[in-house]
Amino acid sequence: MKLTSRNTHRDIAYFYVGLIIAFSISGIFLNHRRQLNPRRYTYETREFQVNPFTKDQADEAFVKQLTSAQKIDDEMRRFQASDTELSISFTQNDVKVDMATGKGSIVTYRTIPLLGQMTQLHQDTSNWWIYYSDFFGLGMLTLAITGMFIEKGKNSFRKRGLKLALIGIIFPLIFLFLLS
């Protein structure tokens, strides 16, 4: 096989096609994670009732007893009591209780299979993934550079591609500096 821009471009694209698709799909979902977070979507909401209590009573022992009574077997991240509401955050659950009425709700979250794992790729910081991502970045850079030399004639990079590339650079800069 001859080492040409076209062959290099094609082979790197074939090698990374799975990751490009995964990053594209999960990136779209991450852009809209306030509407639907693939790693934490509402799976179930359950209401419950306890006796009314005060902010002074809402200490760690009280929170443990409350969550145990509600059969929440999850790692607690934090809890906070305001003047009117107790909020407890777990890895896969959120609990809110109106202290004056004792009415509470438990929201259980799940990960959307496959899509949740794909979005994890954007946030993973393990060493092996960092190195693989670095090679992916170099591969994307190689795709961009080799792509500039594939076409000849009226559709070449010099005749047509440079204008499109400049427009492609201007749009992110507009969003970065003017609209954020």
* Residues linked to residue 103 through DSSP beta bridges, in sequence order: 49
Each residue of 26-84: pLDDT tens digit? 888 888 878 878 877 778 899 999 999 999 999 999 999 999 999 998 999 999 999 99
Q: How far is CA 10 from the centre of its chain?
A: 29
Each residue of 13-24: pLDDT tens digit? 889 988 888 888
pTM, entire model: 0.60
Rounded Cα–Cα distance for residues 64 and 76 (Å): 9
Using pLDDT thresholds of 50, 70 and 90, give the confidence band for residue 98: very high
CA neighbor of 123 nearest in space, from 15, 40, 44: 40
Q: Would you state the structure tokens that stand for residue 180, as one six-digit string?
A: 């954020």
CA atoms within 13 A on the CB side of 34: 1
User: Coil, strand or helix: which one is 164?
Assistant: helix
pLDDT (average), residues 105-121: 87
Q: Can you give the pLDDT at residue 100?
A: 95
Rounded Cα–Cα distance for residues 102 and 49 (Å): 6
Q: Can you give the pLDDT at residue 61?
A: 92
Give strand ranges (E) for the chain. 41-49, 76-81, 85-90, 93-98, 103-110
Going by the DSSP 8-state scheme, the letter that residue 43 receives in this structure is E
Whether 5 has a pLDDT exceeding 80, the answer reads yes
